[in-house]
Amino acid sequence: MYEFVSGPLVWIAFIGFFGGLLYQFVTTVRLAKKERVVLPTMSPKFGLRSLLHWVFPFAGVSTRARPFFTLISFAFHICLLVTPLFLMGHAVLWRQSFGLTWWSLPEGVADVMTLVVIFGCLFFVVRRLVQPEVRNVSEPSDFVLALVVLAPFLTGYIAHQQWLPYQTMIIIHIVTGVIWLLAIPWTRLVHMLWFAFTRAYMGSEFGSVRHSRDW
């Protein structure tokens, strides 16, 4: 079982993840060419100007308006991206599978970062239940997606702490991680891909066409 999930299944996950994102990108660029405004409006200068104001916390009015939410949201997303790539346990696998060696996170730091992701997921779920304007537009799928993101981090953490049988937890961890990766291109998690483009488009439109700022 472990052989399968850590071998072919992981390949399926990576191929599905990158292939899915590529498919989304190519088909959407083709669609964008049909629009009169999208591609001619895109401006590297104004797109980047806007992006820079949104990838740094507190650089814009919106992120400054909710300091607590901003901190959690930024911490969550940074840990979400960095931890899986630079976890020591994963680094070993990168080397074994692809011969890639790179820097990895100290164990304690990785633990904290994983907890940040877990806490972040729970925070988003609670916020979705408690804040009326968010609850009002929440669908069952929003909760499922939070679970899809939470699962690999929670199971990975449990496996690492060896609170439950290690081998079983690792298998569950890999399976949930695969589900997560495969879900990204086909669900609202695709904002991972589109964030930069939607923001850059709005920044371009505000900057180059409307001579104003969008942050």
- Closest to other proteins by CB, 73 vs 104, is 73
- Closest to other proteins by CB, 29 vs 164, is 29
Q: Give CA–CA dist 194/11, Å, rounded.
A: 24
56 and 77 in contact (C-beta within 8 Å)?
A: no
**Residue 63 CB, nearest distance to other proteins (Å)?**
8
Q: Is 6 exposed, middle or buried (0-12, 13-18, 19+ CB in 10 A)?
A: middle
184 and 21 in contact (C-beta within 8 Å)?
A: yes
- Closest to other proteins by CB, 151 vs 174, is 151
- Residues found near other proteins in the complex (CB under 8 A): 28-29, 31-32, 34-38, 40, 50, 54, 60-62, 65-66, 128, 131-139, 142, 188, 190-191, 194-195, 197-199, 201-203, 205-206, 209-215
**Residue 92 CB, nearest distance to other proteins (Å)?**
33
**Residue 24 CB, nearest distance to other proteins (Å)?**
8
- Closest to other proteins by CB, 58 vs 197, is 197
- Closest to other proteins by CB, 68 vs 103, is 68
Q: Give CA–CA dist 86/100, Å, rounded.
A: 12
Residue type, 67: P
**Residue 30 CB, nearest distance to other proteins (Å)?**
8
What backbone torsions phi and psi does residue 36 show, to the nearest 5 degrees?
A: -70, -25
**Residue 139 CB, nearest distance to other proteins (Å)?**
7
116 and 150 in contact (C-beta within 8 Å)?
A: no
